[in-house]
Amino acid sequence: MQTGKDLIAVFGATGSQGGATIHELLQAGHKVRAVTRKPEGDAAKALAARGAEVVKADLDDAASLERALSGAWGVFAVQNTWEAGVEKEEEQGKRVADVARRAGVRHYVYTSVASAHRRTGIPHFDNKWRVEERVRELKFPSWVIVRPVFFMENLLGPWFKPGIDAGTLAIGLEPDTPLQMIAVADIGKYVKLAFEWHERLNGRAFDIAGDELTPVETAAALTEVLGRKVTHVQVPIEEVRKGSEDYALMLEWFDRVGYNVHIKSNAKEFGIAPTPFRAWAKQHFTVVAAR
């Protein structure tokens, strides 16, 4: 791989994982093509201002994918279950991989989910495993699969943030269930290495995490950061199930089994210092609370 010459196409460019990946790649001097459905948006324009080539493509349109991947040495592929649905996400994941292989992409990086290989029975975990299998079957010259755990940034979303603002961390987990989490910025760092270390990591699939806390510990950390009481409230799993069977199955699996990333081993192998939850919360929630 030649830094600044070999083109890396990044999907989900204006999203969380894609955005973190582009940040790391540009900072390291790599040549980046940001792939998005909305090249006219402010987020895409900001990427262009930083030096990324911005192109339009739709994960459901193979022809647009072919144009977006023309001349790319590497690809970072990501899809969104909660936006596309389980079946469509799988179709999109396989479609991008198929098109990339036909386009002559030399190195393929796919972001899956931690424990996808463990037969969890969680629909949006199992579908990513099937996409992983497609990536393997295609026999790219080199490929890497990165599997992150639960995002810390999820707590900034509509499922959690309103409750936290009101003083409750409402989640359908037992109070003492350990939940491994990761800051999205850390995912970008791992993906950057997945490109730079493509020869060393070729054929690897690995889970990544940054910290592990129970809901009670997470609420205590938020209390410390915000300077006001945040209490864990266990949402009845049947209430969760009314909104999403998939999400309920995931929470039940967290209580019963859970992720098993060895955080310290990853830090040693990859040289990436994991972001502790308190440090992440201090950066994000302090800014939000001050507005």
Tokens of 191: 């993906």
Least confidently predicted of 33-47, 137-151, 210-224, 255-269: 33-47
Residue 139 lies in a domain: yes
Residue labelled with tokens 């001097």: 29
Report which of 89, 48, 55 is spatially closest to residue 72, judged by C-alpha positions.
55
Residue 101 lies in a domain: yes
Report which of 132, 133, 134, 136 is spatially closest to residue 146, judged by C-alpha positions.
132
Instruction: State mean pLDDT over 256-268.
Output: 97
Residue 52's pLDDT band (cuts 50, 70, 90)? very high
Least confidently predicted of 84-88, 157-161, 183-187: 84-88
Instruction: State mean pLDDT over 3-19.
Output: 91
| The pLDDT value given to residue 112 | 98
Average pLDDT of the residues of the chain: 95
Residue 233 lies in a domain: no
Residue 232 lies in a domain: no
Tell me: pLDDT of 127 over 50.
yes
CATH label of the domain that carries residue 187: 3.40.50.720
- Domain span holding position 21: 7-149+183-209+260-274
Instruction: State mean pLDDT over 87-110.
Output: 97
CA-to-CA distance for 67 and 151, rounded, in angstroms? 31
Q: At what angle do helices 123-138 and 86-102 cross, to 10 degrees?
A: 10
Tell me: pLDDT of 290 over 50.
no
Residue 227 lies in a domain: no
Residue 114 lies in a domain: yes
Domain count, the chain: 1
| The pLDDT value given to residue 93 | 97
Percent with pLDDT over 70 in the chain: 97
| The pLDDT value given to residue 49 | 95
Residue 4's pLDDT band (cuts 50, 70, 90)? low
Residue 209's pLDDT band (cuts 50, 70, 90)? very high
